[in-house]
A and B are shown apart, each in its own frame.
Chain A
Amino acid sequence: MNLVESLERQMATPNPNVPDLSVGDTVRVHVRIVEGDRERIQPFQGTIIRMRNGKSAGASFTVRRIASNGIGVERTFLLYSPRVERVEVMRHAKVRRAKLYFLRELSGRAARLKERRD
């Protein structure tokens, strides 16, 4: 392990409220939003379509959800950011690729993923 990695491990400690995530999971992410000096927690629920940079300090994951009117909204969160308060995994899915970009082209019933129970 090189020095940068070991420093990253030390600085970016995993959040105990964030379980192991994987692509295809349906999650509810609770993010801390800072507005001026007020702070509140906003949930964002959707499917993880991408996990990036594994264990490095810059690791992130992207959640896609279908907002009203069937408009897709994607939001990327930094895995080790203190602003990610908590992540709940609602459902795992059986997926066969690392990035689920194909979901962007699909909508409605076609955009469903098969559930994985284990």
Chain B
Amino acid sequence: MKGILGRKVGMTQIYQQDGTVVPVTVVEAGPCFVTQLRLPERDGYRAVQLGFGPAKIKHLSKGQQGHLATAGVPQLRHLREVRTREDEVYTLGERILVDVFEPGERVDIQGTSKGRGFAGVVKRHHFAGGPHTHGQSDRERAPGSIGACATPGRVWKGQKMPGQLGNKQTTVQNLEVVLVDPERNLLAVRGSVPGPKGALVLIRGVRKQRVAKGG
């Protein structure tokens, strides 16, 4: 599976020739470097490790510096792995640019969603909250009942409750690549991408191929 690391730039709109407007997210993707090859013989699985983003030497540990020097690549801030098939050939230190993707292709994008902190049940699970009127107090955003009485005598596992929302690894699947600009390393995909502007995202080929109806 091919992949590239990038930085989310922001959203805009693109006009197609017939005048339809496509909402797109722009990602500054690459240039990435292959920093390590994972091989079945040694690691038990096959993957490439990609590195992205300039880093100052003071931000890298000696171990990281040595790891990058082995690959013969510049100082890089972020490393991520992408699983590969046997027929995909990568060489250590290889530069990967956005042009591995082309318009019309589908991709999956993985990132870290915006953190919303400790969120209540209305925001986190789209509960309706309680009634606002009829003598209610303190019930507007309350979860309501969380279980029955003596049977089962406990709260079910998985009961939706308040807690941390966002700041979690999220993958959006099957996004259409609308535009590739190799000159400025830009990629635009239809729809939204997890995370704030400037966040690291991993763009990969699709994991689930769409099967034609009846196929």
A interface residues (Cβ-Cβ under 8 A, vs B): 2-4, 6-8, 11-12, 32, 34, 56-58, 78, 80-83
Contact = CB atoms under 8 A, between A and B. Distances in A.
Interface stretch (B17-25, B39-47, B60-68, B89-97): B17-25
Contacts of A82: 15, 17-19
Nearest to A5: B12
A4 B181 CA distance: 12
A2 B12 CA distance: 12
A57 B26 CA distance: 13
A56 B15 contact: no
B13 interface: yes
A4 B26 contact: yes
A3 B26 contact: yes
A70 B5 CA distance: 58
Interface of B: 9-15, 17-19, 21, 26, 28, 179, 181, 184, 186, 188
A12 B22 CA distance: 12
B21 A7 contact: no
Q: Is the interface of B mostly helix, strand, loop or mixed?
A: strand
B73 to A, nearest CB: 24
A4 B9 contact: yes
Contact of A3 (B17, B18, B179, B184): B184
A11 B15 contact: yes
A9 to B, nearest CB: 11
A29 to B, nearest CB: 14
A80 to B, nearest CB: 6
17 contacts: A2-B9, A3-B10, A3-B184, A3-B186, A4-B10, A6-B184, A7-B181, A7-B188, A8-B12, A11-B15, A34-B19, A57-B12, A57-B14, A58-B13, A81-B19, A82-B18, A83-B19
B28 A3 contact: yes
A11 B13 CA distance: 9
Contacts of A57: 12-15
Given A3-B184, A7-B186, A56 B21 contact: no
A14 to B, nearest CB: 12
